[in-house]
Amino acid sequence: DAGITQSPRHKVTETGTPVTLRCHQTENHRYMYWYRQDPGHGLRLIHYSYGVKDTDKGEVSDGYSVSRSKTEDFLLTLESATSSQTSVYFCAISEGTVISPLHFGNGTRLTVT
Amino acid sequence: LAKTTQPISMDSYEGQEVNITCSHNNIATNDYITWYQQFPSQGPRFIIQGYKTKVTNEVASLFIPADRKSSTLSLPRVSLSDTAVYYCLVGDRAGGYQKVTFGTGTKLQVIP
């Protein structure tokens, strides 16, 4: 399995507090992604990165920011958490070639109360 | 973006072959077809991918007709451990997966 570690695995936080989720990879892959998964919606892309300090928005980026200061780390920040951001968050990586698959971490379950 | 349509759910008995079909009528020339499997509380896991005809690995087979407007994931002799959600992805991945969307997948329930 691809070396992807998400932390924390579970978090409960209160509305209005900042939250940062971390994704760490040991594969030296160029591309990193943050998805959220909610019942009835499948996986939706929040933000992605195509290199150190190179990031862009996905389809559900409002309320989220990201940073990638090193190849191996991709951080997702909720500046002021809301109940609508209660979800399971998955990090994924890919090499970026046409045939390279997407590898996922095991997710972070975030509950905003 | 190539949109995909899959059955929402399927049931199968242990030991049977399961075929899950995905429709992707507006697939583009550069698009590959990829299938993922997701167990509860885990991230999706890559199963198989292909561009045309047939691809087989130790886990599954992928059948793609000449017009590439659909694809079929075939799981031989399923067991209870194959109970999962299966996603079909279609898209141009040159430069990453940001242009590839996940649907809601097919929930496969294997029955003893």
pLDDT tens column, B28-55:
888 889 999 999 889 999 999 999 999 9
Contact B102 A44 (CB under 8 A): yes
What's the pLDDT band for B101 if we cut at 50, 70, 90?
confident
Does pLDDT of B92 surpass 80? no
pLDDT at A18: 96
pLDDT at A41: 80
**CA A30 – CA B93 distance, rounded (Å):** 13
**What's the gap between Cα B59 and its chain centre?**
12
To the nearest whole percent, how much of chain A has pLDDT over 90? 86
Contact A102 B87 (CB under 8 A): no
Whether A2 has its CB under 8 Å from any CB of chain B: the answer is: no
**CA A25 – CA A90 distance, rounded (Å):** 13
pLDDT at A21: 98
Contact B97 A102 (CB under 8 A): yes
- In the three-class reduction of DSSP (H, G, I as helix; E, B as strand; rest coil), residue A98 is classed as coil
**CA B83 – CA A37 distance, rounded (Å):** 19
pLDDT at B1: 54
Does pLDDT of A30 surpass 70? yes
Compute CA distances B47 → A57, B24, B54, B85, whole Å.
27, 18, 14, 12
Please give the DSSP secondary-structure letter assigned to residue B69: S
Whether A92 has its CB under 8 Å from any CB of chain B: the answer is: yes
Q: Give the E-state strand segments of chain B in sequence order.
A: 9-13, 18-23, 32-38, 45-50, 53-56, 61-64, 70-75, 84-91, 106-111
**Mean pLDDT on B77-100:** 86
CB B99 within 8 A of CB B91: yes
pLDDT at A86: 97
Does pLDDT of A1 surpass 90? no
